[in-house]
Each structure stands twice: as C-alpha cells, then as structure tokens.
A = this chain, B = another copy of it.
C-alpha cells in the first residue's frame, strides 16, 4: 500500500480575475498557488517568508517544472498539497493540486528551492532543523 506522502495541504478557490480570455485559470496563477502553499506551510512551522527576508535569509526558487493536467475554471475549489525532500543543498517541494469536487489531478509540480543568506547561496541550519520532521527520504 502506498502511504500518503503529503505533509501539508491548503484549500483555495479560483478567483475570477485569475481566469484569462480562454475562460480558465491563467497558467502563471498556478505558480502563485504553489508559492502561497509553500509560504503557508512555512507559516505553519513557525517561519515567515517576509520576516526571513528582513533577516537577510531568502529562500529562492532555482527550478520549477509543472505538468498541467486539468484546467481550473471560475468557481472551482481545489486542494494544494505538498511533500518535500532534501537533495544536496536543494529543498525539493513536490506540489500537486487536486480539484475538490472530484479529486481530479489539476497540476503536478516540482519546485527546487535554495537558501540565499546575505546574498550568498548557502546551507541553512535553520531550515534543516525546521524541515527535519517533514523530509521524505530521497530513497522513497
């Protein structure tokens, strides 16, 4: 049996201004959904993205890949879920979005983030400590 890997999830609802002239959510907004999910996850473990920035610690996205499976439309509710791994100095977030009414996969994304401290790429003992309970093993 496959165990549920997700360590965080957030429910949201499409806002009409996020839809474009095709009548579906504009692709760039999915990146907003993924970012907001990661930042709310940070908040849930006691870290504030804005406060980190003021302390000179900036999580920065190095690479994103997204597969768009089912477009969201006006009024759709959805659940944005994530789990994470550490690979070298990168924190890799596996982020999937599901349409709420039928569980259909909307998007599957992988977001690789690194930590920039005082302008330099670096390891973050803070992140390592905070994320420890949430890291899936890379061997999974």
Contacts and interface: CB of A to CB of B under 8 A. Distances in A.
Given A66-B63, A68-B61, A28 B22 contact: no
A66 B64 contact: yes
A39 interface: yes
A58 B27 CA distance: 14
A41 interface: no
Interface string A69-88: 00101110000000000000
Interface residues of A, number: 36
B15 A32 contact: yes
Given A17-B28, A49-B74, 18 more contacts: A16-B21, A17-B26, A17-B32, A19-B20, A19-B21, A19-B50, A21-B74, A22-B60, A27-B35, A27-B61, A27-B64, A28-B28, A28-B31, A43-B75, A50-B74, A50-B75, A63-B67, A64-B66
A122 interface: no
B31 A16 contact: no
Contacts of A132: none
23 contacts: A15-B32, A15-B36, A16-B20, A16-B49, A17-B32, A19-B21, A19-B50, A21-B21, A21-B50, A21-B53, A21-B74, A23-B50, A27-B35, A28-B28, A28-B35, A48-B74, A61-B68, A62-B67, A63-B65, A63-B66, A64-B64, A65-B65, A65-B66
